Copies of this chain bind each other. A is one copy, B any other.
Amino acid sequence: HLPLSIIAGPCQLESRGHALEMAMALKEICTRLGLGLVFKTSFDKANRTSAGAARGVGLAAALPIFAEIRESLGLPVLTDVHDAAQCAPVAEAVDVLQIPAFLCRQTDLLVAAAKTGRAVNVKKGQFLAPWDMANVVAKVTGAGNPDVLVTERGVSFGYNALVSDMRALPIMAGTTGAPVIFDATHSVQQPGGKGTSSGGQREFVPVLARAAVAVGVAGLFIESHEDPDRAPSDGPNMVPLKEMEGLLAELKAFDVLAKKRAAR
């Protein structure tokens, strides 16, 4: 039972400067707390609610920034891929390829990500049962890559709403054998809840994160931004940077307790 890892960063890669600043700030926090950090940011938001919404800097601009963060800060980097052709070039610049929830059943994408040899983090679809992730993980491991993570991010619950089933965490661990991550950011999303964009309930990030850590997870996924209300995407559910250290300190204490218990 390894200590909690943190996957954190701004939802979108807004610019080189912003990404480096965020990565540095998060690294300092996690170093002080003794928590492992994987820096997360997206070069393209390929499935925004509306076509008019900001999508990000794009693949070509992002790759050198990812590489710079890895080299200059020594941080592993995670980003999401949306089609098979992106996997190989992205794998050159990052440590973990993430499969978005909507795409978690797309066989070609899973296999292409697997074949890069990089770790693959698959988000569980909002339409899937936790035990269904065993078939998803098998698509990656069956392509020769044993290095898979699975992430819970809420399940559809009526219209424009998600619910986080905490039973899903041990069920996915047991049925997939993969480390389980809890995505506290997208679990509080209200999909489509604001008409032409998704709403969110930032105030529940600490609530659900605490629950998940007490149940027992390998890692937490938490998006953060120095000014979420001005972020180009997922603002309503990102944690303000200045609150991250307090939140992570608290979650670390729950993780230590949960893993002491599990180690007995």
Q: Which residues on A are within 8 Å of B, measured CB to CB?
A: 46-52, 55, 82-85, 102-103, 105-108, 110-111, 125-132, 135, 138-139, 142-143, 155-161, 163-167, 169-170, 191-192, 196, 201, 204, 207-208, 210-215, 250, 253-254, 257-258, 261
A215 CB, nearest partner CB in chain B, Å: 5
- A50 contacts across to B, CB distance below 8 A: 135, 138-139
Give A47 to B129 CA distance when docked, in angstroms: 16
Across the interface, do B207 and A129 meet the contact criterion of CB distance under 8 Å?
no
- If A47-B107, A254-B214 touch, does A165 touch B164 (CB 8 Å cutoff)? yes
A244 CB, nearest partner CB in chain B, Å: 16
The listed residue (B47, B108, B127, B129) touching A105 by CB distance below 8 A is B47
- A191 contacts across to B, CB distance below 8 A: 127-128, 132
Across the interface, do B207 and A107 meet the contact criterion of CB distance under 8 Å?
no
The listed residue (B102, B156, B208) touching A155 by CB distance below 8 A is B156
Q: Which residue of B lies closest to A55 (CB)?
A: B107
Give A119 to B135 CA distance when docked, in angstroms: 34
- A127 contacts across to B, CB distance below 8 A: 102, 125-127, 156, 191
Across the interface, do B253 and A257 meet the contact criterion of CB distance under 8 Å?
yes
